Each structure stands twice: as structure tokens, then as C-alpha cells.
Amino acid sequence: MEIYPNETQAFIHFDQQTIKRTDGVIPTKTRELIALAIALTMQCAYCIDVHVKGAKRAGVSVDELAELISISASVRAGATMAHGLLAMRLFEQNNS
């Protein structure tokens, strides 16, 4: 934050205008669930920490959290399968 204060402040402002806003069409609880699902699939430990706390403050239950984890794992596995299929196609296209 001290080295790049302008960039840091720009990120904080962007974050507040997207995830932290309370006047959007998407409710805060849903925003935190979306952010947490992305954090899980991106495997960002800092984001997971921040958004678990945010989700809890927004009223997410442990059952909702467990279901979200399963959905996130499924999406991550789906991306792996899709990339695997791409790898197979590229392998088959390469005749050397």
C-alpha cells in the first residue's frame, strides 16, 4: 500500500463499488457468495479469508457454505475437463 498508493486506492475503490456496495440489484449475501466461489476456484487464500468473513456477516449459513464449496469444485473440475479436451484436440492436430 505504501509503495503503490494510487493503485492500491484504485483497487479498494473498485472493490467497494462492486462487491461491497449495498445499493446494487444483487443482494450483499449473493455478492459475497459469488466472490467466495470465485476465490475458491482461483485458489486465492487472501480472498477466501475476506469473503468467508463477508459471507458470514451477510448471513450465509454453514449449509450454504458447504453447497457453495461443492458447486465451486464442480466448476473447477469442469474447467479442467474442458482444458483436457482442448489438449486432446491439439494433440490430435499435431501430426509430428
Q: What is the pLDDT of residue 87?
A: 96
Q: How far apart are CA 38 and CA 19, in angstroms?
A: 12
Q: What is the pLDDT of residue 81?
A: 96
How many domains is the chain built from?
A: 1
Q: Identify whether the C-beta of residue 27 lies closer than 8 Å to the C-beta of residue 19.
A: no
Q: How far apart are CA 33 and CA 39, in angstroms?
A: 10
Domain that holds residue 36: 5-93
- The distance in angstroms from the start CA to the end CA of the chain is 50
71 Cβ contact list (under 8 Å, min separation 6) = 37
Q: What is the pLDDT of residues 56-91, one digit of tens each?
A: 999 999 999 999 999 999 999 999 999 999 999 999
Q: What is the pLDDT of residues 1-48, one digit of tens each?
A: 789 999 999 999 998 899 888 899 999 999 999 999 999 999 999 999
Give the CATH number, domain containing residue 38.
Answer: 1.20.1290.10
Which residue is it, cell 461443492?
70
